[in-house]
Amino acid sequence: MNKTILLLIFAFSLCSCGIDYDGKTKIIFEGNITDYNGSPLPNITVGAKYYNGNITDIAGFGETDSNGNFRIIFPGTNENVDINILINHLDYMNNYNKNSYSTLSIGNITQSVIRAHDYKINFSTIQLYDLNDDNSVNLRVNINKTSSYYDGIIKVNIIGIADDNYIDYDFDNIPSDSPSNYNAQYDANLYYEYSRTYLVAKNQTIKIKYMLSDYSVHETEVYIGEESVERTITY
């Protein structure tokens, strides 16, 4: 209980950094973090990064408890912000990652998303894996564009256990109140033929989710075994 209160106080102490915090609204993020086998991971850092289109601010951070659970309270704002949840990115006090587990970012959490969840989001179970256990392979995703010049893939998500992964929390929708206008999530290179390699855990089925320029969402699955895999998306 005391830990949660300290996190809240720390978050509100950052009001002078440029983000216009309202000083009264509370946003709650909670969930459970486990390893590849489902065992709880204690002392994993969880932070929230706010972006208002011009300024980026770490609004607060905390760690999972002995059961891998986290429940952190962050401040609301008087302006529209995009929120990114940073899982195991670094030790915020010493500015380095203190373990060998994979990292994850959960982004595109906008004002409309927060309001739709009544200012409380439960991320359920989040799985990380130990990069030192020789259980990683490469997933190479190729984009093969055969459609017209003006059509393209706007964004791609790898849904599964991967290192340094980014998950768009509101992938299917484009809320009108996003201050960054999604420039951070869109990649102009996706409009043309390209390849990208992801480091992923072995022995799982990964979902590749992508959005075309007409905002239609498509998915394909690929099984990851003991060897590296290459998958081509043609559209």
* Domain limit, last residue, from 75, 103, 127: 127
Cα 164 from Cα 180, distance rounded (Å): 22
* Domain limit, last residue, from 127, 146, 175: 127
> Do the domain assignments include residue 230?
yes
- Residue 225 and residue 153 share a domain: yes
Residue-range definition of the domain harbouring residue 38:
2-127
Say which residue, 15 or 20, is predicted with more confidence. 20
Percent of the chain exceeding pLDDT 70 equals 80
Res 20: pLDDT:
87
Res 103: pLDDT:
95
- Residue 155 and residue 106 share a domain: no
Q: Give the total number of structural domains in the chain.
A: 2
| Mean of pLDDT values over 139-151 | 77
pLDDT at residue 95 greater than cutoff 80:
no
The shares of helix, strand and coil residues in the chain, as percent rounded to the nearest 5, are: 10, 50, 40
Res 10: pLDDT:
44
pLDDT at residue 158 greater than cutoff 90:
yes
CB 17, CB 54: distance < 8 Å: no
Res 65: pLDDT:
97
Percent of the chain exceeding pLDDT 90 equals 48
39-48: per-residue pLDDT in tens? 999 999 999 9
- Residue 123 and residue 84 share a domain: yes
> Do the domain assignments include residue 181?
no
Cα 153 from Cα 234, distance rounded (Å): 10
| Mean of pLDDT values over 163-169 | 93
